[in-house]
Structures are given as C-alpha cells and as structure tokens.
Amino acid sequence: MNQPALNRRKKASILVAEDESIVRADMEEYLKSFGYRICASVASGEEAKRQATKLRPDLVLMDIILSGKVDGIQAGKYIQSKLGIPVVFVTAHGDDRTLERAKLNAPFGYVLKPFNDQELRTAIEIAIFRHGAEEELRRVHQWLKAILDSMDEAVLVTDKWGFITLVNDRTVTLTGWQRQRAIGKALGQVVRLLHGTSRQPYLLPLNEILLQPTGKSSLEQLLLAPLNGSETPVRFSIAPMTDSDGEVNGVILKLQPIELTRSPAIKRVPQAEQHRKRL
C-alpha cells in the first residue's frame, strides 16, 4: 500500500537550536518518533552556525530567542543565505515586531509555542518539500540560462508589463547592459533600435504583441544602439509568451546580428593600361 506523501520522507537530518532544555527534549522526542535523524542539538546561535556549517543538515529548527551574541534570527539568516539550508523558526513570541523581523529572512516556516507533534511535523515536511521544489526550479533556471547563453542571438524575456526578467550573454555583449542592470528595466530602455536609413528611433511593437498575441519579425535592417561603442545591424523577432490558460504574461525578443550589405568593389584600372587599350 502506498503511504501518504507526508510519511515518505523518514531519513531527513535535522539540527535543533533551542536554549530551553525541556522544549528541546520534547522536540527531539517528536523528531525521533517521526523517523528524522537529529544530527545535532544546540543552545546558541553561534553553535548553530558552526554545527550547520560542519554537518550540513537537511533542515534547521531554530528558536528565535537564543542566548549569546547571535540570536536565532541572525543565525537563521546566515544558515539560509550562506549555506543554502532551510530554516523553520520556533518561537513563543508571536508579536508583530518579532515576526516582521523574522520574515525579512524569508524562513521556510514558523512553529509557535506551545506546539503539538502534528504542527511540528507539518511545518518540517512543508519546508523540506518547498526547499526541494525551489532547488529544482533553480536547476531548471541554470539549465535554461546555459542554453540561452550558447545562442548567437540576443534573447530578452519580459513580463506582461514589458519589464525585462531574463537576458542571455549575447544581449549583454550587443547592448552593453550588464545582466544585473538590465533586469527590471523597460525593454525599450535596454533595446534601442534605429531605422537603418533614416536613423530615426524604431519602436518595438510591444503593446501590439501584448494585446493581440501574434509574433512579428522585422523586414528591414535596423541598427541596435548600445550604451557605448558602435551600432550593430540587426533584425528582430518578437513573440508573446502565454501560460497554460492562454493568457499573455510576457514577450520573448530575439535580436539577430547581420552583415552589412555593401556594393561590389569596383576594380580600378591604372591610367597607363587604359591608354594602351585605347591605342
């Protein structure tokens, strides 16, 4: 018989950071009954950081109020941001100020004292599942980035308001905008196009694509004006990006650098040779 999803994970290792010995003993008993492995049990923020760095648990149960120079919120911030380990805060302090301070660290969950075994178990399972899902999403994003960065075309993705959410390496090279600076900017701010003949600004049909989701491509040769340096002749294609319900939630723009068309070179004949031919 298949077990419920909540019961499948039995081997996760957990670090407990709690300075009240009675509460810590209860937590350890609950965790053992659930089948989790307690890799360490500490009473201070400093020790929580050291043990998390050394043991790399799957999750940390962290009391917000700990004795010592480093409290639970500070230790939790370090463990999540530096070590990539999910933290669930355990606290008896449910006041708005404490919770607002804790929320700044984006923890994977809260457990308010006094708690029962099911409340603790549910918070742990949700945190472990959420962390796994975020890690998988991060791997997919890295895979997508590697594919986009290998392309010869510049690729930019926007949200439904036309603000950039993703660019590849070729975009950075052609536009002169660093990736971190380009993200969040309006598409027309980063991609500045000029008509190849008149050199007048060319406006991308962004609103048209968002309102009437059909793809478009440029027929004429355009010039891409970077932040610094010389302009690059390009052609573009732009298409809507839709969700599973068919709603447009952004656009994908591709810029293809092209060779400038030049007139064939005229072969010049020396004047002496021209004179001999006339004779």
- Stretches in the chain below the pLDDT threshold 50: 1-9, 263-269, 271, 274-275, 278-279
pLDDT of amino acid 264: 47
Residue 271 belongs to some domain of the structure: no
Please check whether residues 242 and 177 belong to one and the same domain. Answer: yes
Please check whether residues 192 and 81 belong to one and the same domain. Answer: no
Please check whether residues 112 and 202 belong to one and the same domain. Answer: no
Closest CA relative to residue 117, chosen from 16, 29, 10: 29
Residue 133 belongs to some domain of the structure: yes
- Among residues 143, 167, 202, which one ends one of the domains? 143
- Among residues 102, 119, 143, which one ends one of the domains? 143
End-to-end CA distance of the chain: 105
CA separation, residue 227 to residues 172, 190, 193, 233, 260 (Å): 10, 8, 12, 15, 21
Residue 13 belongs to some domain of the structure: yes
Which DSSP symbol is given to 172? H
Please check whether residues 125 and 33 belong to one and the same domain. Answer: yes
Residue 262 belongs to some domain of the structure: no
pLDDT of amino acid 98: 65
Please check whether residues 30 and 128 belong to one and the same domain. Answer: yes
- Among residues 118, 143, 168, which one ends one of the domains? 143
Residue 243 belongs to some domain of the structure: yes
Please check whether residues 136 and 165 belong to one and the same domain. Answer: no
Please check whether residues 31 and 103 belong to one and the same domain. Answer: yes
DSSP-derived 3-state class of residue 268 = coil
Please check whether residues 23 and 127 belong to one and the same domain. Answer: yes
Please check whether residues 107 and 171 belong to one and the same domain. Answer: no
Please check whether residues 72 and 112 belong to one and the same domain. Answer: yes
CATH number, domain at 18? 3.40.50.2300
Please check whether residues 24 and 136 belong to one and the same domain. Answer: yes
pLDDT of amino acid 106: 75
pLDDT of amino acid 4: 45
Task: Record the tokens describing residue 30, joined without a space.
Answer: 């609950």
Domain of residue 44 covers 5-143
Please check whether residues 120 and 16 belong to one and the same domain. Answer: yes
Closest CA relative to residue 49, chosen from 90, 81, 92: 81
- Separation CA 66–CA 17 (nearest Å): 8
CATH number, domain at 245? 3.30.450.20
Q: How many domains does the chain have?
A: 2
Residue 273 belongs to some domain of the structure: no
- Separation CA 20–CA 39 (nearest Å): 18
Residues 6+ apart with CB under 8 A from 241: 157, 248, 249, 250, 251, 252
